[in-house]
Structure 1
Amino acid sequence: MDRRSVLKSAIALAAWYGLPSAPLFAAAKATSGIADGDAESFSFEWLQGFAKDLAAKAYQSNVEKLPPTLANLTPQQYNAIGYDPEHSLWHDKSDQLDVQFFHVGMAFNQPVRMYSIDADTQKAREIHFRPDLFDYSRADVDVSQLEGQGDLGFAGFRVFKAPLLTEKDIVSFLGASYFRAVDDTYQYGLSARGVAVNTYADGKTEEFPAFTRFWFETPEEGSTTFTAYALLDSPSLSGAYRFIIHCEEQRVVMEIDKHLYPREAITQLGVTPMTSMFSCGTQQRDMCLTYHPQIHDSDRLSMWLGNGEWVCRPLNNPPRVQFNTFSNNSPKGFGLLQTDHDFTHYEDIVGHYHERPSLWVEPKGDWGKGEMQMLEIPTTGETMDNVVAFWKPEKAVEPGQTLSYGYKLYWSAQPPVKPDMARVRKTFTGIGGFPEGWAPGEHYPDVWAKRIAVDFIGGQLKHFYDSGIDIKTALDVPEGDVKQLDILWVDEIEGFRIQFDWYPTSDSTDPINMRLHLVANDDTVSETWLYQYFPPAPEERTYPEHPAA
């Protein structure tokens, strides 16, 4: 399912559309605000009760049939729909933050109802859709088709922060329960979701629960923090969410509390799902079909396990769909990270992959036993989110339950925590079978081999090297033979490069899960490297023909 193509075109709206013409907004400017619904009491406790009651009823889809002028929009036309900044939610109410709304259109045909909460009365008023809130002059929309359609609702919202109010958004909620945020580069990357249902479950179709309503608290003057509440609904469950969103100087931090109410038994419930893209990288350079050295939103899954162990799992663009699970008890944190922020390693002036943020999850409380699960899907390019990762609780999910989770999401260049010990810098692969630093010579080796190299940096590695303390490897490769294992100090990175040649001992192309960490004085001194290697087919285990001498 190509979810990324729609999300990428609709969410990455960095350009400012400018102020619309005065006649278009004449009606809107005559009002005192955009929240014009009847005042109704609101609290998070009420929302939880509402979601629980909703789950006790049969699911009712609110997908609407859009008029052709909206349903048939191209991504370019959809992106060209403007919003009047003078009628954004907190215009003249906050000097630090503001909110604008996305128009329904294309595949965004499930209306989201928006409400503004009065800070003094705690009453909520709905913000109704009105065509005069938008500028269609550049979008080729036939506004006459919108007449008589009633309240079409909105597709989502985005948040702006001073000093770039109305120019570059920093938070975006658009499409089912997808949302994103940026760091100080203002560059979107991977996405999060409210919840995942049956992403990879036998005999089940993946379900995409949707946020159907949002309530916004107006931030205090001078504050860069705001609170939003959301109602989630789908055939399998409903949910009540509270987002406390801190729009900090170099990152966005979201404190999330959610309560889920299953309507039916769920085979695979994904908590804190993250969706990203990995096309090619240093360990899969052969997948880079364009001139770019690397193409990815994220380069690894990082996990801080409940027992204190740190794990680095480099991402793959696999030859076939791969689903992996990592059992754990009470995780301390995990995330999909983009650790390489050097432009020259990507050479991409459109995607700006060197500026894309990482996403780190910090659980609140004890989540108990469960699994970190990750799905990797083959892709030939960068227009598909082909990596999904989430936490799956061990306990069965049955109707009538209340499942409550609290956690923080950190959208930043690097996660807020990192191991005290050495950590993985990069993974490399290439042809093997001959000494490092030498060409294969007149004849290539008779037996094909793959060379794999892993760089470790940080921790006490420089001290160990300067003090002459031996570094040893704990390497586990369950299939094939490992030869030519080298431990090399690299001054340029102030770390060790561990490299070895892998020789196949069978024709199998099943993935091989390799595991490695460093040891000094009988102590583990690095995080654990987990790598899934895919042996090529036997007929592909050859070297290029060497020219005659």
Structure 2
Amino acid sequence: MQRRTLLKASLALASMGLPAIPAFAQPREAETDEPTFDFDWLKAHAKSLAGEPYRSRVEDLPESLATLAPLDYQKITYDRNKALWTGDTRTDLRMHFFHVGMQFDKPVTMHAVDPDSGRSRVIHFRPELFDYASSGIDPATLEGRDLGFAGFRLAVNGEGNPIQEVAAFLGASYFRAIDENKQYGLSARGLAVDTALDRAEEFPDFTDFWFVHPKDGSQQVTVYALLDSPSVAGAYRFDIDCQDKGVVMTVAMDIYTRKDIERLGIAPMTSMFLKGTSQPQARDTIHPQVHDSDRLEMWRGNGEWVCRPLFNPKSLQYNAFTDENPKGFGLVQHDHDFNNYRDDVAWYNKRPSLWVEPIGDWGKGDIALIELPTVGETIDNIGAFWIPEAPVKADQHLSYGYKLYWWPLPPVGPTLAQVEKTWTGMGNVPEGWIPGDKSPDQYARRFAVDFVGDPLDKLPGNTPVEVQVEVSRGKLGMVQARRFEPIKGYRAIFDWVPDDPSDAAVSIRLFLRTGDRPLTETWLYQWVPPKADERHYADSPEP
């Protein structure tokens, strides 16, 4: 994955993290009707499109728009009274549209669909709908051009006329939504193509959206999308439900391939992890933790729950977790305690989690996790998605369904105790050891994993609790489990000891048990040890 494309995507998403801006346009009354629209028509259209050579939709924007700075782009606003469905007392939902400009140079066509007749109409761009004050754009220079739009916002029009933005689609096939804490965080994508390979990643685009008028009084809206890229065309249906706890999206997708795809990612999501409890020195910042998500959670097809804490590596790390018919997975922001972030600007403690619940059997494949190095919090450096086991060939039709839960925590959880936090530090030393004391005979790295919840919080005090831990290389030193009363849980502690000078990544798997009975979900971790000549204690803090 290229840094340049990541930065481009993160800039697109950063513009949505600002307070909601009133926006954009209703369809004209004198539109020309399009053919009757439904999902079958869209799927047939996508299939036909995939049978043709790919044509880029990049548009030569006026220079004033193409060279806009992000802050000036965000100053382009619109009278919210012109938003789609404004004045319609049957629904509180409103559709607002983003202006083209900066890197958003692929116009997206918007369509309004009448749910009774099935007829749709194009929503045209008109500069008089926008307020360009303070942006440096002269609207007269945009007259006579139907520039299209860059994306859209979904908002709820509440009592007293406040607007609450709940979801946004902007840039390629990126989109995101909020939960009850009213804060944007990680993003989803329509599709991932050849992510984290030794060549440039392909970013498919949503080129068209169709909006179906909500049912009377409903907080749910249906949005259809057409996706296109050099490798694939696709038809998507999003049933977006604005619930009290957060947004739930039911997604149906049918994709049609133009060519072979080496790595196809289904239900992809991207997030940011800069530093957490196991990497306090990943960046020198006043905030103790900085991340949109702190773990990948997986509910495997065999019923096992797995927690994989996220990591900010020194180089790209790619992991694939093989599964069959997964029950769910997602990037989770498990820690919502403000005191662990102390950030009243970004509000990382309010960031939503994103959980994927497959609909139907997905068969065999892998849940992929990509972690890239970052020194800044504006770049998404974490990616996760499902990869089908069967090779994806040209002229193929693939169909998937799933639900996306943008909630503070996933809608389901393990019946066993969960990982609370992960810690690392110097190993092979007693607590309280300081530089200057006699150094240990051999370098080691210590890990501590805190588990909380049922059944740990109800165990009799004399219950024997053991650590079941495995490492992919190296050897184990001290291993212990002990009751950790302040958190009403248990702490597993172990030392990893190298047995060779290699700095290749170490995979670690751990859970707590009593006898043959597991007590916790499975903790997975990947750690990259320092080079052999850097394995000392007094001079160099571990990253």
Same structural fold, with TM-score higher than 0.5 when normalized by the shorter chain = yes
Q: Which amino acid aligns with 2:132?
A: Y
- 1:167-194: per-residue Cα shift (whole Å, max 9, x none)? 4411000000000000011111110000
Counterpart in 2 of 1:373?
Answer: 368
Counterpart in 2 of 1:200?
Answer: 196
- Note if contact 1:14-1:168 (Cα within 8 Å) is conserved in structure 2: no
The alignment yields a C-alpha RMSD, in angstroms, of 1.9
Matches within 5 A, 1:47-446: 47-93=42-88, 94-148=90-144, 150-163=145-158, 167-202=163-198, 204-436=199-431, 442-446=437-441
Counterpart in 2 of 1:532?
Answer: 526
Q: Secondary structure at the match of 2:523?
A: strand
- 1:279-319: per-residue Cα shift (whole Å, max 9, x none)? 11111111032111111111111111111111111111111
Q: Secondary structure at the match of 2:459?
A: helix
1:423 to partner: Cα distance: 1.2
Change (3 A) 1:168 1:280: same
Q: Secondary structure at the match of 1:64?
A: coil
Q: Secondary structure at the match of 2:58?
A: coil
Which runs of no fewer than 5 residues in structure 2 stay unpaired?
none
1:17 to partner: Cα distance: 5.3
Looking at structure 2, the residues matched to 260 and 36 of structure 1 have their Cα atoms a distance apart, in angstroms, of: 34
- Note if contact 2:263-2:387 (Cα within 8 Å) is conserved in structure 1: yes
- 1:82-118: per-residue Cα shift (whole Å, max 9, x none)? 0211110011124421110000000000010001111
Matches within 5 A, 1:10-49: 10-16=15-21, 33-34=27-28, 36-40=30-34, 41-49=36-44
Change (3 A) 1:469 1:207: same
1:361 to partner: Cα distance: 0.1
Work out which of the residue numbers 534, 538, 541 in structure 2 matches 1:544.
Answer: 538
Normalised to the residue count of structure 1, the TM-score between the two structures is 0.93
- Note if contact 1:3-1:385 (Cα within 8 Å) is conserved in structure 2: no
Q: Which amino acid aligns with 1:395?
A: A
- Note if contact 1:464-1:471 (Cα within 8 Å) is conserved in structure 2: no
- Note if contact 2:9-2:171 (Cα within 8 Å) is conserved in structure 1: no
- 1:474-511: per-residue Cα shift (whole Å, max 9, x none)? 10023223222221211221110001122222211101
Change (3 A) 1:470 1:34: farther
Normalised to the residue count of structure 2, the TM-score between the two structures is 0.94
Change (3 A) 1:137 1:304: same
Q: Which amino acid aligns with 1:6?
A: L
Looking at structure 2, the residues matched to 463 and 182 of structure 1 have their Cα atoms a distance apart, in angstroms, of: 35
Q: Secondary structure at the match of 2:255?
A: strand
Aligned pairs, number: 532
- Note if contact 1:34-1:87 (Cα within 8 Å) is conserved in structure 2: no
Which runs of no fewer than 5 residues in structure 1 stay unpaired?
19-24
Pair 1:488 & 2:482 matched: yes
- Note if contact 1:71-1:106 (Cα within 8 Å) is conserved in structure 2: yes
Q: Which amino acid aligns with 2:99?
A: H
1:439 to partner: Cα distance: 5.4
- 1:345-390: per-residue Cα shift (whole Å, max 9, x none)? 1111221111100000000000000111121111111121111111
Task: Return 115-124 or 269-278, whichever deviates more.
Answer: 115-124
Work out which of the residue numbers 2, 5, 8 in structure 2 matches 1:3.
Answer: 8
Pair 1:521 & 2:515 matched: yes
Looking at structure 1, the residues matched to 96 and 477 of structure 2 have their Cα atoms a distance apart, in angstroms, of: 59
1:36 to partner: Cα distance: 4.6
1:123 to partner: Cα distance: 0.6
1:225 to partner: Cα distance: 0.5
Looking at structure 2, the residues matched to 184 and 364 of structure 1 have their Cα atoms a distance apart, in angstroms, of: 25
Looking at structure 2, the residues matched to 498 and 166 of structure 1 have their Cα atoms a distance apart, in angstroms, of: 49
1:8 to partner: Cα distance: 3.4
Looking at structure 2, the residues matched to 398 and 459 of structure 1 have their Cα atoms a distance apart, in angstroms, of: 46
Q: Secondary structure at the match of 2:478?
A: strand
Looking at structure 2, the residues matched to 266 and 539 of structure 1 have their Cα atoms a distance apart, in angstroms, of: 42
Looking at structure 2, the residues matched to 269 and 309 of structure 1 have their Cα atoms a distance apart, in angstroms, of: 25
Q: Which amino acid aligns with 2:321?
A: F
Looking at structure 2, the residues matched to 364 and 57 of structure 1 have their Cα atoms a distance apart, in angstroms, of: 30
Looking at structure 2, the residues matched to 382 and 260 of structure 1 have their Cα atoms a distance apart, in angstroms, of: 33
